[in-house]
């Protein structure tokens, strides 16, 4: 039997299943925000100044905020990312040989190839039509498979196997002669549109296995896209709950393209967040500069829990474990934004939330990853702290975290917004 209230993590599971791509994550976040009274704004329109909840979407990124009173003077920003390493369908996808139909794909981000083999995969993404409108599509049933070579044909497989990303990761999707246009005709039919009106597409392979709880006491939670929908979902839940924030404006900023370096017009290196914050303040630069100086950001992304089979990969004095709460991620070289002021901000938020917390540091000989924290902090000039949940199997098609930790992360975000 579960030993804690599962409602938050059950809700995360629903969020993950509704969000196979960044575009779906923005749509699902928007749906939840609108159910709580938020209004979607177009960046091309003038924006209202009245108190209320609002959000804007740009190319798989979403920024949402709520103005709780007539007067405000600063921001509390919870940052996350909406994308995940996977395979992206190429512009001319129809390929194949020897009686197999295949779909040509590119590798998007840091994909551990083995984890995608021999899985039922679906396809989801967006179509942009001749008239510029965007249509989401989610096939949501088994469609693709990247088949493993039989062990009899590859006796060295357990001595380590390298897969060639161009030749050996191409999924199959059926039998017969490949025909140019067939795959996109199928996708257009799934989306209920005419294939000849589809003028652009961003389509990705999607892992289909439903999220599940593991363990005798169900204290573990497995799903695809824990990195980083745990953070997007926590931010949405906290923003909906952040009714009392004094003169601070709570903001959720969830960016696309983190996994490939954040360099697009909609990503953390672009001007989207700065543009929103500037519009909320108006054109008096001194007022804006004072607001930024009084603001703080918490950038949330998953990090590595101590792995029992590979302890030598981890810093011996810092061993985060699932179930013990979110981590602050510390790096002397600022791969994570987390100096002394940032550590204090994190501790105050965690204490306000009444949650357990941990500290993550890389080994000196394993530099690890990075995230949007240093990028957004540098872009905006806002004090920024990097946090996130400890997970195993990061970037796998099925990651693992503590089942209670997503609720702790949402409480931490609310602590940031309200204290």
Interface with Co ion (CB under 5 A):
227-228, 301
Smaller CB separation from Co ion, 228 or 245: 228
Q: What is the rounded distance in angstroms from the CA atom of residue 54 to the CA atom of residue 68?
A: 11
Residues 6+ apart with CB under 8 A from 418: 242, 244, 245, 250, 352
Token code pair at residue 94: 């129809």
Smaller CB separation from Co ion, 79 or 250: 79
Smaller CB separation from Co ion, 138 or 227: 227
CB 209 within 8 A of CB 133: no
Smaller CB separation from Co ion, 61 or 228: 228
Smaller CB separation from Co ion, 79 or 96: 79
Q: In whole angstroms, how close is the CB of 301 to Co ion at the nearest point?
A: 4
Task: Give DSSP secondary structure letters for 298-345.
Answer: EEE--EEPPPTT-GGGS-TT----TTS--EEEE-TTSSS---HHHHHH
Smaller CB separation from Co ion, 182 or 386: 386
Smaller CB separation from Co ion, 227 or 399: 227
Q: What is the rounded distance in angstroms from the CA atom of residue 253 to the CA atom of residue 392?
A: 25
Q: In whole angstroms, how close is the CB of 418 to Co ion at the nearest point?
A: 25
Q: In whole angstroms, how close is the CB of 260 to Co ion at the nearest point?
A: 11
Smaller CB separation from Co ion, 227 or 405: 227
Token code pair at residue 75: 């921001």
Residues 6+ apart with CB under 8 A from 355: 325, 326, 408, 411, 412, 415
Q: In whole angstroms, how close is the CB of 398 to Co ion at the nearest point?
A: 15
Q: In whole angstroms, how close is the CB of 228 to Co ion at the nearest point?
A: 4
CA distances from 314 to 240, 289, 367, 410, 414 (A): 36, 40, 11, 26, 30
User: What number of H helices and E strands is found in the chain?
Assistant: 9, 20
The SS3 assignment for 371 reads coil
Q: In whole angstroms, how close is the CB of 227 to Co ion at the nearest point?
A: 4
Q: Are strands 383-388 and 212-214 parallel, antiparallel or unpaired?
A: unpaired
Q: What is the rounded distance in angstroms from the CA atom of residue 327 to the CA atom of residue 221?
A: 17
Q: How far apart are the first and last CA of the chain?
A: 35
Smaller CB separation from Co ion, 228 or 393: 228
> Beta partners for 198?
129
Q: In whole angstroms, how close is the CB of 22 to Co ion at the nearest point?
A: 12
DSSP character at residue 195: G
For 158, half-sphere exposure in the C-beta direction (CA atoms, 13 angstrom radius) is: 3
Q: In whole angstroms, how close is the CB of 224 to Co ion at the nearest point?
A: 13
Q: What is the rounded distance in angstroms from the CA atom of residue 220 to the CA atom of residue 305?
A: 12
């Amino acid at each position: 039997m579960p030993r804690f209230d599962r409602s938050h993590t059950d809700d995360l599971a629903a969020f993950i299943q509704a969000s196979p791509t960044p575009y779906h994550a923005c749509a699902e976040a928007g749906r939840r925000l609108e159910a709580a009274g938020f209004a979607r704004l177009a960046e091309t329109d003038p924006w209202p100044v009245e108190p209320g909840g609002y959000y804007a979407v740009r190319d798989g990124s979403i920024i949402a905020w709520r103005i709780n009173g007539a007067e405000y003077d600063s921001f509390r920003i919870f940052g996350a990312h909406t994308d995940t390493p996977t395979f992206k369908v190429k512009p001319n996808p129809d390929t194949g040989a020897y009686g197999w139909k295949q779909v040509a794909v590119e590798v998007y981000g840091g994909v551990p190839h083995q984890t995608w083999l021999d899985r039922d995969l679906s396809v989801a993404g967006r179509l942009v039509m001749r008239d510029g409108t965007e249509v989401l599509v989610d096939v949501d049933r088994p469609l693709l498979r990247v088949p493993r070579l039989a062990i009899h044909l590859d006796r060295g497989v357990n001595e380590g196997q390298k897969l060639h990303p161009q030749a050996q990761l191409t999924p199959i999707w059926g039998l017969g002669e490949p025909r140019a246009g067939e795959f996109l005709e199928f996708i257009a039919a799934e989306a209920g549109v005419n294939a000849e009106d589809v003028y652009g597409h961003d389509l990705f392979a999607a892992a289909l296995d439903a999220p599940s709880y593991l363990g005798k006491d169900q204290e573990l939670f497995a799903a695809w896209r824990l990195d980083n929908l745990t953070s997007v979902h926590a931010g949405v839940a906290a923003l909906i709950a952040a009714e009392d924030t004094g003169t601070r404006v709570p903001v959720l900023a969830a960016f696309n393209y983190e996994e490939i370096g954040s360099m697009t017009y909609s990503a953390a290196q672009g001007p989207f967040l700065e543009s929103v914050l500037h519009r909320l303040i108006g054109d008096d630069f001194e007022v804006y500069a004072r607001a930024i100086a009084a603001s703080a950001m918490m950038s949330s992304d998953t990090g590595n829990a101590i792995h029992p089979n590979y302890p030598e990969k981890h810093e011996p004095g810092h061993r985060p474990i699932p179930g013990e709460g979110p981590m602050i991620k510390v790096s002397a070289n600022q791969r994570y934004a987390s100096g002394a002021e940032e550590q204090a901000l994190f501790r105050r938020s965690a204490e306000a939330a009444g949650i357990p917390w941990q500290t993550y540091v890389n080994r000196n000989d394993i530099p690890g990853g990075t995230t949007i924290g240093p990028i957004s902090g540098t872009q905006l000039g806002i004090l920024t702290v990097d946090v996130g949940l400890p997970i195993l199997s990061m970037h796998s098609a099925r990651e693992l975290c503590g089942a209670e930790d997503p609720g702790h992360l949402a409480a931490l975000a609310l602590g940031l917004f309200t204290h």
